[in-house]
Each structure stands twice: as structure tokens, then as C-alpha cells.
Amino acid sequence: MSSSTYIPKSNQYSAIPQAEEAAEEDIDDTRSANTLIPEPPRDKKTNSRSAQYSKLNTSEEFDFGGEEEEEGRIGEGEGEEIELETLDNLDYEVDIEEEEAASTISTTIIGSSNMKMAFMNMTNSILGAGIIGQPLAFKNSGFLGGILVMILLTMLIDWTLCLIVRNSILAQRAKSYQDTVKYCFGLPGKIVLLLAISSFAYGGCMAFCVIIGDTIPHVLKTFIPQSVTSGGWAWLFHRNTIIVVFTCCISYPLSLNRDISKLAKASAFALFGMLVIVVLTVARAPYVSSDLRGTIAKHEWFINYNIFQGISVISFALVCHHNTMFIYQSMKNPSLAKFTKLTHFSCSISMVFCMIMGLNGFVNFGNLTKGNILNNFKSNDNWINVARFCFGLNMLTTFPLEIFVVRDVIKDILLTRKVKREGVSSASDLELSTKQHFIITSILVFSSMSVSLFTCNLGMILELIGATSASLMAYIIPPMCYYKLSWLQLDWASVTKQERRTFILSKAVPSIACILFGFTVMFISSGMTIRDAILNKDTSDHCVVD
């Protein structure tokens, strides 16, 4: 947003009732950006929220590289200005003449990430630790079932990611995911989301440190002469030493950044590492010895009875909803149209990576497929050791993205009083002091790292938290907010049959179906995790390197 437009008092806006049509709900990326006039004082005789909005059309077309968008202001009374914020053709209509613009002024760009940088961050956020578990997902779902589940879940994840940004716009330009939920469901709803986000992200940080300790030491011992690794320097190659050194020297400095766009280069490196992992795994799997290969039953080529376990694994791998608003706000001149295109690209690329990894691993290892596909290869496979090393480094660069999320949750809690005192809309408008930022980041990094020093397998706790948190963040809360916000946009006292039918078919039914699906996945996944823990099915020693 590069400029603001002032409209004289004589040309004050007039509210135009919403006339929602089903065909208008799809956002056309080639259309000009639209600008939303914030809600004027409501007429006591008017019950419709839709009669309080209007939009300003600009002539600028959407550009993938990120062109500057216009932002207008209109005057209302002496010295009073109402800022117009961009909105990409959602549910409102307006017709304000260009000649009403009196002057333009520069405005501050929200973020500094171009589309390529934002793409790196979002794709890296999706392609985390979950990708190495995709062969197991296909084993549980079946060959055909895995393909269908992967495609359907990618589409669902794509939709709910866009819903988070769409909801924030409908919720009076909420600055964060939690602000949107608070707008819809009050403080209780916000608390539930904060718990889900913090547990998912912080649990991810602990898991990343565990993975670092389980991959990098093994790789170093393979490529460094035994005379070095077993002599007086042997302590440098111990699991805990490697975790501390790599976390403190790589993840910690990256986590101290305030601007998530500065992690774009690290994310690009992580994506390159992920490409190496996929290529090496696909290339080496057909050549493993016969004793490592399993068999595939006839029914496993179609749809397996453990398909819900496969859904859980794929869902956990694709969920990145807790990072959505950070990435959106890091973009130059963010708009819903830009973010929608970004999400389509990121989700599509992620699906391709996961599909290749899943199909390749399942076809080659069959019923012997493990949760970590890299563990299906021998420890002396040098090419796979390169993949293991890249995977460990990938975790080091994904770690800071999760720290951003947890730190924002803590900021939201700490600055609650300051928000009321300074009269700002949310904690997202405030920044932690340098001292607070340093202390909170340090505590989060070193506490999550410390957990990995005492355990090699977070087991049931992380799986349980992951199942509940991921389902809440991705499948339950976004459609619940969208349903409520869409409901509030209609004037039910004068709604037509066509508007009612459009609302039910295009908004209510998809939202309710997604919510029910989320609860189903959450309960079934949690039940399976608890069942496996009670039956002690996972008895392997995760600290064993060789």
C-alpha cells in the first residue's frame, strides 16, 4: 500500500446493502483490488451488518510479483479521517468515482517479503518433519486410498488456510489468528486457540531437537574417521553435544529475528535440503537389498482399513495454520488474492513432494515401511546419510518458524494490560521490548532443547497434542469462524430465497462438513495413540544410532 486518497466531506460515503450471489464468492485474481470502508455508526433501526459496508475500486490489477496497492482515506468532520483498507472483492459492492480522490499520501508497507520469499517460508512451514512419515501414511491408507486422501486433504488444507485470512478481513481486519477467534467467540475461544497453537508449535520445537540428535551425530560418525570420533574428541560427537552445538549456533540466532521475512533465505536452504532428501530416497529405494523389502497385500493396493491413521499422518504433515497470519503480514502489500495464489502454489508443491515420498517408500518397502522412511535404509548407505544430514539441517531452519508462533502467543498474554492502557486493537499492534524479546526467545529455545537432552522419543504426549492441536487449528476453528462471520453478513429479516440457498450450499454445508471431519480425525487419532500406548506397541529404542 503506497498511497492514501482523501475524499472531501461533501462526498462522504453511503452504505450499500450487500447483494450476495453464489458466482461472486470466487475471487478473481485478475480483477482490481478493492478497498473496504470501515464500519460507520450503525443505524438503530437497521439490523443488517451488510448495510454498513462499501468498497472503493482501484484500477490496479493483481501482480504475482507484488505491485503496490492503493489505500484511501475519506474525511468526516474536522480533522477526522477514516482509513480505507484493501479487500479483494469478497461480499460487498460499492461505486465511488475516481474524481472523488483529492490527494494521495505515502503509507507504510506492512511487510517486506515478495511472493518468492513468502513462498519459501510457507512451503518450508508445510514441508517439515511430516514428509518422512508419508510412506507410513500410504501403508495405512492403501495405494489408491493414499492418493485420494493426499489430494482431498491438500484441497481442504488450502481452503482453510485461505479462510484464516478471509476471516481476519471479515472480522474488522483482525491482526492475528487469535484476534479473529476472539472476535467470533470471545475470550474462551481465543484461549482454546492459544492452547492449541502453543502446544503444537512448542511440541514441534521439541520434536525438531530430537530429530537433530537422532540424525546428525550418526552422519558425522559415518563421514569422520573413527580415530577422531572415538578418541579424546569423542564427546564432541555425542548426541546431546550435537543438539546443544547445532541449536545454539544455528537455530537460536535465527530465532532472535523479529521479522519472519528474514528467514526466507534459511527457508530456501531448507527447501533445497528437502529436495535432496526426496531425490536421494527415490533414487536409492529401488536398489536396497531384498532383506529390507516387504510385501504388499492385494487389498493394500486399493483402500486399507487403517485409512484414518493415514489421514492423521498426512494431516499432521500439511498443517501450518499457526504460521498463516505471520506469512500474510510479512508480504509486501498483502491482499487476499495474492495470498490465495501463494497458498495454491505452496500446497501444490508440498503435495507433490509428499506424494512422491509416500508412493516411493510404500512401493519399495511394503509392509516393512517404518514411521521414518530413512530408517528403512542401512546405516552405512552413504547417500542416505547425506539425506539424513539434510533432514537434520532442515529441522534447524524450521525450528525458528515455530518459535515465532509461540513467542507471539506469549506476547499476546503479556501485553494484555498494555493493549487496554494504550487503546490499541490488539497485541499485534505492539512490540516486545528488546529485553523481553531476548529473554522470551532464549527461554523458549533452551527449554525445548533441554527436553530433547533427556528423552529420545516424545511418544504419546506429542502425538496426542499433535492430533488435537492440528485438527483444531486446521479443520475446526477456521470453518467455525467463517460460518459465524458469514451468518452475520446476512440481513435475515429481508433475505431472499436465493441468498438463503447460496449461504446454505456455499458456506454452511462446507463449513459444517469440515468441522465434523475435524472432530472425527481428532477423536480417532487420539484414540489410536492412547490404544497403542496402552498396548505398548512402540517398544523400539529411539536413542540407538547404529
What tens digit of pLDDT does each residue of 189-221 get?
988 998 888 888 888 888 888 888 878 887 887
DSSP 3-state assignment of 60?
A: strand
Compute CA distances 378 → 123, 222, 261, 292, whole Å. 29, 12, 38, 9
Q: What is the pLDDT at residue 323?
A: 81
DSSP 3-state assignment of 484?
A: helix
User: Which amino acid, residue 427?
Assistant: A
Q: What is the pLDDT at residue 462?
A: 60
CB proximity list for 193: less than 8 A, separation 6 or greater:
177, 178, 181, 472, 473, 477
Q: What is the pLDDT at residue 426?
A: 67
pLDDT digits (tens, 9 = 90+) for 292-326: 888 888 888 988 887 887 888 888 788 888 888 88
H helices of 224-306, in order, are 226-229, 239-246, 252-255, 264-284
Residue 216 φ then ψ, to 5°: -65, -45
Q: What is the pLDDT at residue 511?
A: 95
Q: What pTM, to 2 d.p., does this model score?
A: 0.69
Q: Is the dihedral of CA 538, 544, 545, 546 positive or negative?
A: negative
Cα gap 326→336, rounded to integer Å: 14
Cα gap 218→395, rounded to integer Å: 16
DSSP element (H, E) containing 4? strand 3-7
DSSP letters for 172-223: TS-SSHHHHHHHHHHHHHHHHHHHHHHHHHHHHHHHHHHHHHHHHHHHHHHH
Cα gap 392→209, rounded to integer Å: 9
- Residue 417 pairs in a beta bridge with none
Look up the CATH number of domain 115-534: 1.20.1740
Q: 478471509: which residue's cell?
A: 166
Cα gap 183→189, rounded to integer Å: 9
Q: Which set of grid coordinates corresponds to residue 532?
A: 497403542
Cα gap 467→278, rounded to integer Å: 25
Compute CA distances 138 → 64, 120, 306, 518, whole Å. 35, 26, 10, 20
Q: What is the pLDDT at residue 400?
A: 86
Q: Which set of grid coordinates corresponds to residue 151?
A: 489430494
CB proximity list for 424: less than 8 A, separation 6 or greater:
430
**Per-domain residue ranges of the chain:** 3-106, 115-534
Residues 93, 95, 101, 105: what is their CA dihedral angle, to the nearest 10 degrees?
A: 10
Strand 32-36 and strand 85-87: the pairing is antiparallel
Q: What is the pLDDT at residue 118?
A: 87
Strand 81-83 and strand 73-75: the pairing is antiparallel
Strand 3-7 and strand 73-75: the pairing is parallel
Cα gap 264→242, rounded to integer Å: 25
User: Which amino acid, residue 298?
Assistant: K
The region that residue 334 occupies, defined by phi over 0 for left and psi between -120 and 50 for alpha, beta otherwise, is beta
DSSP 3-state assignment of 82?
A: strand
CB proximity list for 18: less than 8 A, separation 6 or greater:
48, 50, 51, 53, 91, 92, 93, 489, 490, 491
Tens place of pLDDT per residue across the chain (546 aa): 444 433 433 343 333 334 344 334 444 443 444 444 444 444 444 444 444 443 333 333 334 444 444 444 334 444 433 333 333 333 333 333 333 332 332 333 456 778 888 888 888 788 777 788 889 889 988 999 999 999 999 999 999 999 999 999 998 877 888 889 999 999 899 889 988 888 888 888 888 888 888 788 878 878 777 766 677 777 888 888 989 998 999 889 988 888 777 777 777 777 788 888 899 999 999 888 888 888 888 888 988 887 887 888 888 788 888 888 888 988 888 888 999 999 999 999 999 999 999 999 999 998 888 877 888 888 788 888 888 888 887 887 788 888 988 898 888 888 777 767 776 666 666 778 889 899 999 999 999 898 888 766 555 566 677 678 888 999 999 999 999 999 988 888 888 888 889 899 999 999 999 999 999 988 887 887 777 777 765 544 445 444
User: Which amino acid, residue 542?
Assistant: H
Q: Is the dihedral of CA 174, 176, 182, 184 positive or negative?
A: positive
Q: Choose among 255, 221, 517: nearest CA to 388.
A: 221
Q: Which set of grid coordinates corresponds to residue 45?
A: 433501526
